[in-house]
Chains A and B, each alone.
Chain A
Amino acid sequence: MASDLVHLYMRIDHLPQMWCPGCGNGVIMRDVAVAIQELIEDPELDFNREDFVIVSGIGCSSRAAGYLDFNSIHTTHGRAIAFATGIKFANPKLHVVVLTGDGDCSAIGGNHLIHAARRNMGLTVIAFNNDIYGMTGGQYSPTTPNGDKATTAPYGNVDRPFDIANLATGAGASFAARGDIYHARETIDIIKQAILHKGFSLVDVYSVCPTYYGRKNKKGDAVEMLKWQKEHLVPTARYYSMPESERADKKLIGILSYNDYPEYTDEYAKVIESCRKKDKK
């Protein structure tokens, strides 16, 4: 037996999913399904299920494209945004949602991320950010915090980490936001905003990997890791009502940057239109 949501929007014959106990990926995948369901069911909006395309790369998190029952494509490591760009270009009316890992989108796929952001391609990128390469056994990723341990950083990570939402903003993304596992309801709303946004949108969702990152760094089990999120990640309204001194060790959950830049496929369509007019003359 399963909930209506699961029956409607997941490939139930592929469930139960194969992620580890307490892995945050299942929560983010559900957030995405609920966000899309609420958009489709909103009578004020005109979203159709057939217009959604889910694109993923490679990694534990990227398996979500196989579980979600939409038009979906599971591509190669780091290239999800490149495939998504092609899909959007071929049919700009589609809502192309990329599900990717921190390694997939900020290590091997980092270049695709920054250029899709710079061009303002109308994609929605949901980063399942668990601070580690989960699938290959816990190597450090570009988001592993400085000093933390990984199988490839047994004495602590020397690198400084990327903040994926800030990276996207710096590259020109017109919408960048942060979500997490604990604040699932807030994260669903953020994902809805991201999908509604016409240009490039990125949501960096802080996940938890109790198996590799948690265990290696003595962060406790999934429950302990969620308690950490509850205490350190703060939704927008509460964050801004906190005294500055209390914000020092906290991060905001919400929309971090927003701009109304022209969307890429719209601009491209204008070029096509103007060339057609010239041809006719």
Chain B
Amino acid sequence: MAGRKKLVIEESWCKGCGICAAFCPKQVLEIQKEKVSVIHPEQCIACGFCELRCPDYAIYLVNVEE
């Protein structure tokens, strides 16, 4: 995962709609058993598109302490 931000998933809030995975520009995410999971964390560019369009607030970026 790039730089100072990392993805966090609140699995219990995810309804598996797939919006985050479908519009991730780097194919970082996949829906498995109706929940989102991070399959390629190293490719994440922290663009935040997943967080922007997640209707359930189940995926978001946080700043990582250096």
Contact = CB atoms under 8 A, between A and B. Distances in A.
Interface residues of A, number: 29
Contacts of B13: 2, 15-16
A210 B61 CA distance: 27
A27 B10 contact: no
Interface string A199-233: 00000000000100000000001110011000000
B19 A222 contact: yes
Contact of B56 (A1, A26, A184, A227): A26
A165 B16 CA distance: 32
Interface of A: 1-3, 5-6, 10, 15-17, 19-27, 30, 181-182, 184-185, 210, 221-223, 226-227
What band does the interface of chain B fall in when counting residues whose beta carbon is under 8 Å from A? Answer: 20 to 34
Interface in B1-56: 8, 10, 12-13, 15-19, 22-23, 51-56
A172 B13 CA distance: 42
A226 B10 contact: no
Residue from B22, B51, B54, B57 having most chain A Cβ neighbours under 10 A: B57
Given A16-B12, A222-B19, A22 B52 contact: no
Nearest to A185: B52
Given A3-B60, A226-B19, A184 B55 contact: no
Residue from A5, A20, A21, A221 having most chain B Cβ neighbours under 10 A: A21
